[in-house]
Structure 1
């Protein structure tokens, strides 16, 4: 039987200071997860499992390195955390797995089911691919050598979830231990016998509709592709230290899913055991992160993407996709980028926090009045127009086409941020704000079949 690694999210040193994670209700995510992790470890050890708990003072990067230095093929690794949202009504548990790995998805469902059996009052948000997260990937799910999952046991910002964990922490721990025990047995049962020369199953590679001459391999349920194909796609990995390489029979491979960060669509056909790669000519990879330009999606595709992420999104604002296409096109702004930013700022129109639907403020624009935290607009169209104008202020020195409605347009140094990533630290204090917008753009294009 393999060993079980457990990490409590946050609590370590990040940029020289202790990272508490989400803070709400007089407590922190780090504190709640350390207490829960310790109970899980005690429960598993009572069942004769070998458990390794990650030291609490390690950063996220150091946590991955610590596990990889010790991990073996039949081990499993779990990180537990709690979600946070400006909308305090959001609640429920989620289990995140590396995208396009059916085996890991089944493990995530197994773990989540075990928790919910012990705590049925906890809503389930399901087993979810890491591409559905803010940055479009989770290093804990992507970069570990052993099979790994990240379990969000609820929302710390939701009073019901928070009190449920604090009052029934042992039930949470037993449920998670049940899931980890079942997952560990499943991995041990499918792992090949240890040998100096492991043998991996091969897989075909379909790229843009044709079968590539060389095959990939399957490692721990993940499709790996040869590095030569990466070079043929003109992808430079020199600035991507988080991408792991393996050597098998004198050929270097990387995980296929890692190509997604380079605007390559990656999917998996279980029936033919083929990894499918697609680089689209309709979306220029170099323009995905440019604010000025033309969008690539249709109004219907924007509507479907919004409804997929919030089924009630269009109830109050049914014309919003149309408004973004029209208003952005007039000013020469990429409406796909603007629409994706709106999804982040409003939580796919679920709002919460400082923003209210009645404000028609879809870009999280601040007010020019000191006493007001955020701006308000008389209609959805004017709110969208203000958002577009503020983006144009950052990305271009060209004059506005329409009458000025953005209350803070005059405060922006024109043209200072033509790229989405340059909005980080400007539009939002979040250092990863631009990356999160680009991640939403990728998800939008994948849902529309453009990537």
Structure 2
């Protein structure tokens, strides 16, 4: 069968320096595309397709040479990138194809449609010949020896597109992967992926062992979909990685966290431990799902410090989004932020512009406190530090917490155990829980 080559634009060395691509909203094009590329590769491999990921340190010319040295006529190649515009209201995705090539335009239409169907909130800017851009052509489309397209997945300069990409990255990845599979089948109609053999694993749900076995795919645990009722979750509501194996469908366990499921792994017994959101999660458990909505968090914060909610209007949504990605209870994280920042008054040594909401230190330690490039990255670092203490599971996103590696993993699964660890204050955990109870009282939970 034909193989799929995929390249994340920028990040390589151009003219003697690393090219980050577009920079906007506290992030770079290179970073966002590498994260998206990695998810696309995982999705394709989960569906048993052969995919080759272009090394990130190559230049644009080196990328093309790398592909040409390995490709054959049945393969396809895609480069993903973001667009940019002075006007932040300009939005949408497009796919570029080599000009005056009707077949490649049809391929581009197929790829773009698959993404838009998966992320319907993303405007469709249509497909465009590469002759329509200012340089008169795209080297990736023209100099790659196999069928090649360039996809702009949105405008990094658009807050709406950037938010979609960062909060629904897996949906982008699934849509692009499905488009790539359809395109590959057009180029090589006879190609079908061969089914590999996956090792089986044990499954424990709400402290009960099940005879149904899961599987390990590229180091990730997958659960058979027929156990969804045991978890009391609706799999149609989540953006979940799926594989079909020996006639059965499996979902990626870590993705179940978006549905409120607690996910753990016991390597000694090769057991996937799952706990449903309805299994009476204790108020003090750091890993799990929060109960308060974004509106309830806003109201609570405004009742304590209205100016803080004005200065950081997105802070409730950031905590919900980032905590959901890592499987952390956003109520606990948000209330810890309230304690650390005095409800965003920043009455201690940390300044608001540091975007440090949890008193995180630097790599050097001592009295120095970390500074983060945006509120989202600051929240992400906080969530990652909490997860370091509460769980031994790997992070779902790139590490931004400067002291993540210094934490003994999983030593504090409940809030009270943060006392004497996160803070020298022996009542630290109790103070966080007191704020959680205030939040629940305010929200009527």
Give the TM bin, normalised by the shorter chain: 0.3 to 0.5
TM-score, normalised via structure 2 length: 0.42
